[in-house]
Amino acid sequence: MAIEACADLRGFFQGMVLEAMRRRRVGAEAETTEYVTDLLVACAGTDGAALLDRPLVWMLDDAMACEDGVRMHALCATGDAALARSGLFAAPDDVGYLTEVGKFAYRGAAAEAQRTGGGSPVALVELGEKFPEFVEVLAEASALGDVTKALVRRYAAQGVDQPKRCLSSSMYVSTASRDGRS
């Protein structure tokens, strides 16, 4: 399998997300597709480390204790962490817990946005309603591009046993699924 630097991560991940949604027959608004794509891009960059940095229960507890105006963003971050962990890294036994936290966080963020007069963000509502489907989309997208395998290889090469330590590095992806070569 050939590994190469990916110059357009957003384009790469968007293609993977759209293909995974097609294969899984998951319908979503464009805003939600963009949100999930942006989450994968964040996982590949320096923002990704924050998604794996703390236990979800602490993130959720902190989010619920936040003041108005900050709570929505903290709940979004908790939902994002749950989605990234469950779709990219979770053991099957952990997916149920991560799904419950993710649904709760996204639904809470959408309600908080509605309560503070910002309307209900389409992506947050849809992710709260269809969280399990988007876990499968992320897992499928990851498999399509060998994204998780590339991350794990990268972590192993650097002697890192926890993904969060390497997410701030540049991302490399397999080109095997795009052009059929190994």
Q: What is the pLDDT of residue 132?
A: 95
Task: Say if residue 65's pLDDT is above 60.
Answer: yes
Query: How confident is the model at residue 156, as a pLDDT?
Result: 56
Q: What is the pLDDT at residue 159?
A: 54
pLDDT higher than 60, residue 23: yes
Q: Which has more pLDDT, 144 or 50?
A: 50
Record the tokens describing residue 5, joined without a space.
Answer: 């630097």
Within 45-130, residue ranges assigned H as helices are 48-52, 56-65, 71-84, 92-115, 122-129
pLDDT value of position 180: 37
Amino acid at 10: R
105 vs 41: which has the higher pLDDT:
105
Give the pLDDT of residue 175: 33
Model confidence at 22: pLDDT above 60: yes
Q: Cα dihedral angle (100, 103, 109, 112), rounded to 10 degrees?
A: -80
pLDDT value of position 61: 94
CA dihedral sign, ordered 157, 158, 164, 170: negative
Average pLDDT, the chain: 79
What would the pLDDT profile of 138-178 be if each residue is shown by its tens digit?
A: 988 887 766 555 555 555 555 545 454 433 333 333 333 33
